[in-house]
Every structure is written in structure tokens, then in C-alpha cells.
Amino acid sequence: MFDGFDNGMHNGIAYIRGGNGPPVLLLHGYPQTKALWAQVAPLLAQDYTVICADLRGYGDSFKPENTPDNAPYSFRAMAQDQVALMAALGFEWFHLVGHDRGARTGHRLALDHDCLLSLTLLDIIPTLLAYDKTDKTFAQTYWHWFFLTQPKPFPEKLIAADPDHFYQSSLLGWGAAQLSDFNADMLADYRRAWRDPAMQHAACNDYRAAATVDLQHDRSDLGRRVQCPTLIMYGTDGAMGRMYDVPATWVDRCADITACPMPGGHFFVDQQPQQTSAALLDFLSDA
């Protein structure tokens, strides 16, 4: 899928690298893998050094044992993984583009580390805001936020019974997409990953952390703002775009915002890779 890119592993984090120029780190979301960027990364690599990594717990990256405080799956831990990876590759400063969980990792990274040239957040609102302002519409649409946080092994056992049905219901439900929107090779990689019981368990732990330790971290940082240029991209047909003024939710958390609505739903990267790439290149060239 990534012709001309090299595969690597650093401290348990699987990644691919290609291109030349300023570094750009691309982080996927749930329930996907670094394969999300297969149609975007080659276009960015014409002008940038592109690194696509699997978050801990996902894809081919390591899946540590969780602890009662959920710290191993906090966005803080995930962010530290990526800072360490980029440093090992020789990049002290870099651009970061994150979708879904990757975007939440990027937001935490921007608060914890002074190393970003720019930040792009794809189709999310702040985690703390989402929980604090939860209403019936959000709870019914983003039901997985509450299901996956249930104590083990309840959600894991239900998911394991038919992982393709479960995860594809996410892509086609709140994702506002059709299976035909997904490249066949990329979808095959998503399925390969989510059929692994270890990833099923790790993804639940990711959401358990988001509902506990991540909220503690976010409350501690209320009032702090990301200082680097920040692009807010969102699908106009997706749940976030329908329920919220997405850029407005970031005004008190980011000092320098550019808004970019995109056609499609939550998975607009899969649905509109060419248009997504063009928007990213336009923003990165000015950041």
C-alpha cells in the first residue's frame, strides 16, 4: 500500500517512513491503523518526510497490560510514544496530523511537549467537552464511548463473537460511510488488526482511559491553549459536524485556528483522500 516507504519499529511502535523534507507525523484513529494514510501519505511525501505510526494498542504496535488507573492507555502515554519515535528518527520538531484517537493524542502531545510546528485535528471536539456536555443525541450516536468503557471482559467478549460486524457497524453507523468508501486493501488491513483479541482488548482500554485518567489530565489543563498553528478539519456530513460547531469548540484551547470543513462523514480521509491531501498541503505550506 505504501510503495517506496520503509517499515520500522521503535520501542514497540510500528511505523512507516517515506519522502523527503520537513517531517510530518500522521496518526490514525479508532478502529483503524496506519493504513488509513495509504492514499494520503504518498502525496504528502512529494514535499515532506512522512511518518505514519500505529498508536499503542492498535495495528502492529505493542499492547501493554493495563493497570487500575488506566495510565498505560492514556493519551499522555500515547503522545510520549510518538515524541520518542520522532526523536529516534532525528526529528525534534515536526508537524502532526491526527484523526480521531490520533487527534486526541496530538492535542495532548501539544500540551505536554514543545515540539510541534503545527497541529491538525481531524473530526473531533475536545474529550472533556464531549463528556461534560453529553446529551441524548451524543450518547445514542457515540454509544461506543460508553460501551467500550465497561469493565472487562464484558465488551471484549461481545466484540470477539463477531469483530467484523462490530467494527464495521462503527464505520457505517456514526462514521456515516459505506463499505464502498473504503479502499479494499486498506479495509483488509483494518480487519486484520481488529480481528486480533489483543487489539480488541487494547481498544477498550483506550476508551477506559479516556473516561478516567484523560479527563483528569484535561481538567488540570483547562485554560491552557495550544500555541502552534492548528487546522481543524471535520466532515460536514458526520456526527460531529451535525451536532457541533466543531471549530468553535477549540477556540479556548488553541491560539491560532484555521477551520476546514470537508465533504463526507467522520471517515472523510478514506472517502476523500485527494481533497484531504490538498487541504493538508495547503495548510502545511503556510504553517
Of 37, 76, 88, 75, the residue nearest 59 (C-alpha): 37
8 A C-beta contact, residue 185 and residue 178: no
Q: Compute the chain's Rg from CA coordinates.
A: 17
| 86-124 pLDDT, tens digit each | 999 999 999 999 999 999 999 999 999 999 999 999 999
Residues 248-278 as b or e (16 or more Cβ within 10 Å = b): ebbeebbeebbebebebbbbbbbbbbeebbe
Q: Given a cut of 90, is residue 287 above it in pLDDT?
A: no
- Given 99, 107, 144, 266, the catalytic residue: 266
Task: List the alpha helices (DSSP H) in 46-181.
Answer: 75-88, 101-112, 127-132, 136-141, 144-147, 154-161, 163-172
Question: pLDDT tens digits for 124-173?
Answer: 999 999 999 999 999 999 999 999 999 999 999 999 999 999 999 988 88
Helices (H), 149-212: 154-161, 163-172, 184-194, 197-210
Helix (H), strand (E) at residue 30 = none
Could you read off the pLDDT of 47-57 as tens digits, one per residue?
999 999 999 99
The answer to whether residue 99 is catalytic is no
Domains of the chain: 6-286 (3.40.50.1820)
Model confidence over 182-235: pLDDT tens digits? 999 999 999 999 999 999 999 999 999 999 999 999 999 999 999 999 999 999
Element (H, E) at 14: strand 13-18
pLDDT in tens, 230-286: 999 999 999 999 999 999 999 999 999 999 999 999 999 999 999 999 999 999 999
266 annotated active-site: yes
Active-site residue (options: 54, 100, 206, 270): 100
Q: What is the distance, to the nearest Å, from the Cα of residue 73 to the centroid of all Cα atoms in its chain?
A: 14
